[in-house]
């Protein structure tokens, strides 16, 4: 089955649209109400086209039902969407029809009004009050144009959701509910643009045009949904065979696995799969045991009965895979040694093996997982830590590699006087910088640090030229130290000595002094 293509707008539809625009323009120019008789012709033409669209939409749904009976598995999803579409279109169409009938009743009275509410059958089609009162008058509990706008928006959103990207802009325009401006330049709503001050004859014609838009969009969408039932049909103009391996690189002792597929395969007509002359089962999965290393090629065929003759048609394919020795990649992302008392961060991977199938163990250290990294923390004071990496392959645990790392104590940082982002490790320093209460003594490895080690200053002493010492706990000057510095003359030395800091391993270290000169 192949779906019908969307039909372009017919010359008759273009003629109707042109007449509608011309008559609307003449109305806007306050032409005599006699001209409204011309809307009879437009309204009659719209109904002629509506009848044709109704027949066409019924035929499309008939094609849908026939396709479902032939292949419900392939058609059910799209038929459900078609039923959703037609239900929404019928609801909006019927509301528009009732809208027209209610206006006809208000214009001519219930006895004269006819259910089809055509312009030709309405005597008071030049009435200028009925439309505004019925569509816009909120005080009298009417204001039906707002309900119509909401239904238009719901219908538009449904169509946009169902269709592809190329038609969405068209439907946005066709069912637009944007407002406009009046002759005074004031903003007005969509309801006012369509219905305010509109004579009955013009209103009925506009509503018929809206009904035509609803059915036209419904017809186009039914065509589109019908074509989707063929989107995965095997009858395409180019068929190719594909091999989809789980991996093309296999460890010795592992197993190569690949899916053999034919593009645009119809699940209701399963192909036959052959590799190196041997037929596979209906899943098309090819497996090969990998007991030796090297590069391995294979080829095969996919055979499928022809839609026309029923004879088998053959599609060739070939592929290859590589079997390598077990290996693992391990790297310390900070240094090539392990530091005692520190969370050493490692990135560990095995080519072709997912992270959840990798296991890492260590002698002389603890191993913990943190996201994609492994945290290795030595438990011995000196010596070496041995890391071991295993991988789970086809239910078996295989050792992929081991590596030894030397245990080193944490390096000692330098001492600096920090003034904002600037670090002083000696030399001249402005007096105001020394006396700024926000500045402090810090332990740092400087801008070229290889490790992000956090050391905390716990105490230090300030020494003047005469050798007088003033101690402080923490990393900031005490009031006594500030008073000492304030007495110093320009060019006088001031030393920060006996600096104590605690590292991430919990041990206290003494840092080198800071020889400063008051500037």
The CATH number of the domain holding residue 506 is 2.60.40
Task: Kindly state the average pLDDT of the residues 350-377.
Answer: 88
pLDDT band, very low/low/confident/very high, at 7 (cuts 50, 70, 90): very low
Lowest-pLDDT range of 186-190, 223-227, 263-267, 343-347: 263-267
Query: What sign for the dihedral angle of Cα 155, 157, 160, 163?
Result: negative
Assess whether 21 and 105 both reside in one domain. yes
Check pLDDT > 60 for residue 92: yes
Q: Of the residues 228, 251, 285, which one is the last residue of a structural domain?
A: 228
| Pairs from 347-356 (Cβ < 8 Å, separation ≥ 24) | 347/372, 347/373, 347/374, 348/374, 348/387, 348/389, 350/389, 350/391, 350/400, 351/249, 351/324, 351/327, 352/247, 352/249, 352/250, 352/251, 353/251, 353/391, 353/392, 353/393, 353/400
pLDDT at 463: 94
> Could you tell me the residue range of the domain that residue 394 belongs to?
329-408
In this structure, the number of other CB atoms found within 10 A of the CB of residue 314 comes to 12
Cα(518)–Cα(409) distance, rounded to whole angstroms? 36
Same domain? 373 vs 308: no
Q: Are 176 and 281 in the same domain? A: no
Q: pLDDT tens digit string along 133-142?
A: 899 876 654 6
Answer whether residue 3 is part of any domain.
no
Which pLDDT band, with edges at 50, 70 and 90, does 398 fall under? Answer: confident
Structure tokens at 494: 């001031």
According to the model, what pLDDT value does residue 267 have? 58
Q: Which of 279-293, 307-321, 368-382 is predicted with the least confidence, judged by mean pLDDT?
A: 307-321
Let me know whether 119 and 95 are in one domain: yes
Return the minimum-mean-pLDDT range out of 277-281, 323-327, 356-360.
Answer: 323-327
Spatial neighbors of 26 by CB under 8 A, at least 6 apart, are 35
| Rounded Cα–Cα distance for residues 479 and 500 (Å) | 20
3-state class (DSSP) for residue 514? strand
Which of 188, 206, 228 terminates a domain? The answer is: 228
Mean pLDDT, residues 455-468 taken together? 93
Mean pLDDT is lowest, of 5-9, 98-102, 200-204, 488-492, for 5-9
Q: What is the mean pLDDT of the chain?
A: 84
How many percent of the chain have pLDDT more than 70?
83
What pLDDT score does 470 carry? 95
Q: How far apart are CA 243 and CA 314, in angstroms?
A: 15
Handedness of CA 477, 481, 482, 485 (dihedral sign): negative
224/76 same-domain check: yes
Residue 240 has pLDDT above 70, yes or no: no
pLDDT at 1 over 50: no
Residue 236's pLDDT is 47
How far is the C-alpha of 417 from the C-alpha of 31, rounded, in Å? 90
- One domain for residues 79 and 189: yes
Contact criterion met (CB below 8 Å) for 460 and 497: yes
User: What does the pLDDT look like over 26-49, one tens digit per residue?
Assistant: 555 444 555 666 778 888 888 889
| pLDDT score of 467 more than 50 | yes
Any domain includes 474: yes
């Amino acid at each position: 089955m192949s779906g019908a293509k969307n039909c372009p707008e017919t010359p008759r539809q273009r003629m109707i649209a042109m007449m509608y625009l011309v008559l609307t323009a003449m109305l806007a120019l306050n032409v005599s109400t006699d001209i409204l008789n011309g809307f009879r012709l437009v309204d009659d033409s719209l109904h002629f086209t509506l009848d044709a669209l109704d027949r066409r939409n019924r035929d499309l749904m008939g094609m849908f039902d026939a396709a479902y009976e032939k292949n419900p598995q392939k058609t059910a999803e799209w038929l459900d969407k078609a039923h959703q579409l037609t239900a929404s279109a019928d609801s909006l169409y019927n509301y528009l029809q009732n809208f027209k009938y209610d206006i006809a009743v208000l214009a001519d009275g219930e006895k004269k009004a006819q259910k089809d509410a055509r312009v030709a059958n309405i005597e008071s089609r030049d009435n200028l009050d009925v439309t505004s009162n019925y569509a816009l008058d909120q005080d009298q509990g009417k204001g039906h144009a707002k309900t119509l706008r909401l239904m238009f928006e719901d219908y538009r959103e449904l169509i946009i959701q169902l269709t592809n990207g190329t038609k969405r802009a068209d439907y946005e325009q066709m069912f637009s509910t944007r407002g406009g401006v009046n002759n005074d330049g004031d903003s007005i709503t969509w309801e006012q643009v369509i219905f305010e001050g509109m004579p009955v004859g013009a209103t009925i014609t506009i509503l018929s045009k809206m009904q035509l838009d609803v059915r036209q969009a419904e017809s186009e969408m039914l065509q589109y949904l019908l074509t989707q039932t063929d989107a995965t049909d095997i009858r395409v103009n180019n068929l190719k065979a594909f091999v989809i391996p789980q991996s093309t690189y296999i460890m010795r002792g592992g197993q190569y696995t690949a899916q053999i597929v034919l593009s645009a395969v119809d699940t209701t007509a399963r192909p036959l799969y052959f590799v190196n002359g041997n037929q596979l089962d209906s899943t098309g999965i090819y497996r090969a045991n990998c007991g030796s290393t090297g590069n391995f090629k294979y080829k095969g065929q996919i055979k499928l009965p022809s839609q026309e003759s029923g004879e088998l048609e053959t599609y060739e394919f070939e592929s290859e895979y590589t079997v390598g020795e077990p290996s693992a990649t391990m790297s310390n992302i900070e240094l090539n040694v392990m530091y005692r008392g520190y969370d050493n961060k490692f990135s560990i991977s095995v080519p072709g093996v997912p992270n959840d199938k990798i296991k890492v163990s260590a002698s002389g250290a603890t191993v913990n997982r943190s996201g994609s990294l492994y945290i290795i923390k030595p438990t011995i004071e000196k010596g070496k830590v041995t890391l071991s990496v295993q991988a789970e392959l086809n239910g078996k645990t295989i050792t992929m590699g081991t590596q030894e790392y030397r245990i080193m104590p944490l390096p000692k940082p330098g001492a600096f006087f920090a003034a904002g982002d600037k670090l002083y490790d000696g030399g001249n320093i402005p007096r105001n910088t020394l006396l700024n209460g926000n500045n402090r003594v810090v332990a740092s490895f400087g801008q070229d640090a290889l490790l992000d080690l956090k050391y905390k200053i716990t105490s230090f002493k300030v020494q003047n030229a005469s050798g007088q010492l003033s101690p402080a706990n923490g990393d900031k000057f005490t009031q006594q130290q500030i008073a000492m510095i304030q007495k110093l003359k320009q060019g006088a030395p001031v030393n920060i000595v006996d600096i104590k800091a605690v590292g991430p391993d919990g041990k206290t270290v003494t840092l080198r002094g800071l020889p400063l000169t008051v500037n």
